[in-house]
Amino acid sequence: MLDSTKIKLGIAPIAWTNDDLPQLGAANTFEQCISEMALAGFAGSEIGNKYPTDPEVLKKALDLRGLQICNAWFSTFFTTKEEEETIEKFIEHRDFLYEMGAKVIGCSEQGHSIQVLNKPIFDEKPVFTEGEWDRLIEGYNKLAILAQEKGMKVSLHHHMGTGIQTPEEIDRFMEQVNENVYLLFDTGHMYFSEGNQEAVNNLIDKYIDRIVHIHLKDVRQNIYEKLKEERWSFLKGVKEGVFTVPGDGVINFDHVFLVIKNSGYEGWMVVEAEQDPAKANPLEYAIKAMDYINEKTGL
């Protein structure tokens, strides 16, 4: 069983309204989203495109429902744009999350990313040049210092369709950045990348001491295999239901939860399973995720 004084459970609004595919859940309101999160028993949330940008307005809405903000996606472009452009936007993002009480900033390098493009996700993923890797590493080291100014931590979200997707790419990043740059561990994206349970287990084994935020998502094997066979884009896979909540797909979470328990991890575990809410009712699946995690971890 996991220690509820050290680990909190959150859920991402992407199950209600999708930032990359706004037509998914377009009718779902911010108030519905956070009310159903609270109803399902979650303690916190990441930030979606319908959330108020005024910290006071957002805090009031969350406080009424007993919710906290734990993280929000931030796109970096160190490989394709001027460094200062990313840094300026990062400072603004950092300050907003700080006002909301978050301790972690989840970043993804979106230079050359194909995750929102209509391209086969496995055939056309980007591969960084040596110069791009150098700029990326230097950039993240600078972000880590800026985060530390507010008592926060920067984490890299390995993600399908980006230049940091595979275990080898994650290894290179983690080996080259400074120790104050951390990892956002995502079960679904790791399984998606490699297609096997071993990759998920190996990644958390290797980096648990540098993991500061965890995304829990599952994969539907039959849809995953069809995606690979028919060479779908990432977003087509999402629309067709390749992702689901923990316990509803092929991933075995037993080892993941055991490593988290034995490590003394402190922080958030966030259910982040983007689906079409017209096909997968967000409240129903939020409750399904909560029931599964409670059964496995006691949280």
pLDDT in tens, 67-125: 999 999 999 999 999 999 999 999 999 999 999 999 999 999 999 999 999 999 999 99
183: pLDDT confidence band, cut at 50, 70 and 90? very high
| C-alpha–C-alpha distance, residues 296 and 199, integer Å | 21
23 has a pLDDT exceeding 90: no
Residue 48 is inside which H or E element, if any?
none
CATH number, span 7-297 = 3.20.20.150
289 has a pLDDT exceeding 90: yes
Q: Averaged over 257-265, what is the pLDDT?
A: 97
Residue showing tokens 């209600």: 16
b (16+ CB within 10 A) / e for 175-202: eebeeebbbbbbbbbbbbbbeebebbbe
What pLDDT does 19 receive? 83
The H helix count followed by the E strand count for the chain is 11, 11
42: pLDDT confidence band, cut at 50, 70 and 90? very high
Residue 32 is inside which H or E element, if any?
helix 30-39
Report the Cα–Cα distance between both ends of the chain, in Å, rounded: 8
What pLDDT does 147 receive? 98
What pLDDT does 26 receive? 87
Which tokens is 186 given? 């995502």
DSSP bridge pairs for 44: 10, 68
- For β-strands 104-109 and 153-157, DSSP reports them as parallel
286: pLDDT confidence band, cut at 50, 70 and 90? very high
Task: Give the type of residue at 165.
Answer: Q
Q: Averaged over 226-232, what is the pLDDT?
A: 98
Q: Please give the C-alpha separations between residue 96 and each of 119, 144, 239, in angstroms, as whole numbers.
A: 33, 16, 31
213: pLDDT confidence band, cut at 50, 70 and 90? very high
Which tokens is 30 given? 């911010």
Task: Give the type of residue at 54.
Answer: D
Q: Please give the C-alpha separations between residue 209 and each of 179, 204, 206, 222, in angstroms, as whole numbers.
A: 10, 9, 8, 33
Q: Which residues contact 30 (CB under 8 A, 6 or more apart)?
A: 48, 50, 51, 52, 61
Distance of CA 224 to the CA centre of its chain: 19
Least confident range from 21-25, 223-227, 280-284: namely 21-25
Residue 168 exposed, middle or buried by CB count within 10 Å (0-12, 13-18, 19+): exposed
| C-alpha–C-alpha distance, residues 278 and 276, integer Å | 5
Let me know: does 208 contact 263? Beta carbons within 8 Å.
yes
What pLDDT does 22 receive? 81
Sheet with 267-271, side-by-side order of all strands: 68-71, 44-46, 7-11, 267-271, 211-216, 181-186, 153-157, 104-109, 74-76
| C-alpha–C-alpha distance, residues 187 and 200, integer Å | 6
* Annotated domain spans of the chain: 7-297
Per-residue pLDDT tens over the stretch 127-182: 999 999 999 999 999 999 999 999 999 999 999 999 999 999 999 999 999 999 99
25 has a pLDDT exceeding 90: no
Least confident range from 15-24, 151-160, 174-183, 193-202: namely 15-24
Q: Region of 69 please: left (phi>0), alpha (psi -120 to 50) or beta.
A: beta
20: pLDDT confidence band, cut at 50, 70 and 90? confident
What pLDDT does 56 receive? 97
Per-residue pLDDT tens over the stretch 30-40: 999 999 999 99
